[in-house]
Structure 1
Amino acid sequence: MYINGTGCVSPLETAIEGRLPSAAPLYDNIRLKAAEPDYKQWIDIKMIRRMSRVIKMGVAAAQLSLQEAGISKPEGIITGTAYGCLDDTGVFLTKMVNQNEEMLTPTAFIQSTHNTVAGQIALLLECHAYNNTFVHKGFSFEHALIDSIMQLREGKISNILAGAMDELTNHSFNILSRFNLFKHAHAGEGAACFVLSTKQGPNAIAKLKGVSVLYKPDSFEEVAADIVGFLAAHNCSQEDVDLVITGRNGDPAGDAWYEHVENKLFSELPVAHFKHLCGEYPTANAFGTWMASRIIASQEVSPAVLFKGNAPSSIKKVLLYNHHDATHHSMILLSIC
């Protein structure tokens, strides 16, 4: 499957510049807010006022990817989100309490459902094709990709818009912080979308070779064995991989999974990471996939993302390994077109 276009809204200026920084930014806050672009270029100003942040981020990422792919309307839309529209959910629940469950306006409730972003993108594009949203916690993005691959392999459509988005509100940040989820990691948010196709477009960035997920592995060895099997299933050996990208976030317990894979399978390879740029959230792997595709397209590994080793001179295959909360493990293999 070809990635013909990408779009990303993140704590970096990715929606404006479309590339990685040359040096890692120094954040002075544990909470990383998305650097939002000027939405008026894609959304009518009257509609912007009624949209929550995650909807606007999702629409912007979708429009950016479609523009790069040179497509005005995709033949399907598939998204993934773990939290959905938290801001609208908070507004609705707050009004329920303050107004004693009386005289509630339905708008906030309607826009609080998890499939609102995919639905809003379809409405703006007048796309009446297949539309689906996965709400599978740390697997939401990966399952959106797997569904996209399945749809394209059926041969009924030639392109599809896939992506993931999640937002962080004051309420959710305070609640999640109580569980010490951000004791070592930055809290993040963002949206990333990809135009996938069976045909190579004029601006094709990379090829999506495969996606695999593993839930609650019993040991480090099980993850390592699963990665070896995943690579073999796609006619790829450990030596064929030029760069490994992991979801390190600074948490010692969580990073131990990455260290084992790096030392056991890829001890000679350079390793990059991405969550110090976008923060930790269930669908952060969408940002990681965006970063991996840009690295392949530019054939350059920015010093801002290189964790160890030397940047390879040629980048043909990139393995992205990530886990969320040490329970949802996933592997994504990308290659040069």
Structure 2
Amino acid sequence: MTYVDQKESRAVSSWPELRLEDWTATRETLHMWLQIVGKIRLAKAPMVNHWWQVPLYVTPRGLSTTSIPDGERHFEIEFNFCTHHLTIDLEGGERRSVPLEPKPVSQFYAEVLGALGELGVEVSITPYPVEVTSTTSFEDDHENASYDPAAAQMFWRQLVQAGRVMGIFRSRFIGKVSPVHFFWGAMDLACTRFSGRTAPQHPGGAPNVGDWVMVEGYSHELSSCGFWPGGDGEGMFYAYAYPEPTGFPEHPVAPQGAFYYPDGGQFVLPYETVRTSADPDATLLAFLQSTYEAAAITGSWDRAGLEGDPLRRGASR
């Protein structure tokens, strides 16, 4: 079942150009800031399978935790990349704001916890980053202190475009599928489909992450895709399967320029290939669909029972 020929895709002129080398320092600082806020959500939100309670979500302004419970009330934290403030909104209307500007991670950490304290929100997090090789605690990180507002905003706009198209792709699956959400550990926007079958226990091995975390995340057979602002060039789109079926790496995928990266165990497509194509939406959808089919076909998924046509389902609206 393919949809890449449907007329729902459109050329978009708002895919920003942002070379990794031009915002390395800002990216590394922002990554730590995102981890601090993500860990606050992790500490407060009830557990959901595959850690789906911890990601952030793309908004018309930036990235948000969405509503977080605090006893009988709720609060929300949002990175606003339009005004360049971190806002903390408490149920009832009270707000605190932290400027997004060049400052050490240690200062950002203290300011965020201080703002939460002013709102009466008590929270304790493990003050160390995960899924990176650094073991410097947030309170001792005085080195990462860069913030280029233009680069941060362009990164958010990359997420807006990628998330929009990934949302179209997500709508074509009626089986278990994750939201399109931003995992602050690896700093990637992801969406994951599941076959419905359990998976062999994951071996773990992610830097500064307990193996039991990966076991929960990969408890069931899946096909995952996403956008990561890493690697080289302007970042990349990726797609992988767990467990990887026999024949998955050799399965043909689209578009031209996509390839299998053995060291990462995934197909990749440079962001620049999508951005510069005549129809970015169609180019990315071709990658998402064909790499999913690589997993579903070689993994013998029940495609008839898992896939659906969102245009047909929405015809009666």
TM over 0.5: no
TM-score, normalised with respect to structure 1: 0.25
Bigger relative CO (Cα 8 Å, ≥ 6 apart): 1
Relative to its length, the structure with more helix (as a share) is 1
TM-score, normalised with respect to structure 2: 0.26
